[in-house]
Amino acid sequence: MQHLYKKIYADPEFHELESKRGRFSWCLAAITIISYFSFILIIAFSPELFAKPISDSTVITWGIPVGLFIIILSFALTGIYVFRANSEFDRLSKDIVDHVKDSAGE
């Protein structure tokens, strides 16, 4: 079994998959981190932006929908990653393992 892992690791398609998955996950992580930190920095240094009511007839401020948007964005980004992982990344992983097994005669 150990030789199978070594062959998979030596396969250039594996490294392409690893690189593609890493870029994609870091991109989604950066979007999440930037949105969270931006929200917190605005609250810390310019709280009056989120303290304004949405309209004159409500007490709901802009901070509430923006905060909800960030939470929904995180769920959506997680869903996007899971969708791509279950479709593209899993298929490529299976193809790599099958290719290596076929070439090893297993």
pLDDT digits (tens, 9 = 90+) for 18-52: 999 999 999 999 999 999 999 999 999 999 999 99
Residue found by looking up tokens 């997680």 in the block: 78
Tell me the residue length of the chain.
106
pLDDT digits (tens, 9 = 90+) for 64-88: 999 999 999 999 999 999 999 999 9
pTM, to two decimals: 0.81
Tell me which of 105 and 42 has the higher pLDDT: 42
Helices and strands, counts by H and E, the chain? 5, 0
What does 11-34 look like in DSSP terms, one character per residue? -HHHHHHHHHHHHHHHHHHHHHHH
Our CA dihedral for 65, 71, 73, 77, rounded to 10 degrees, sits at 180
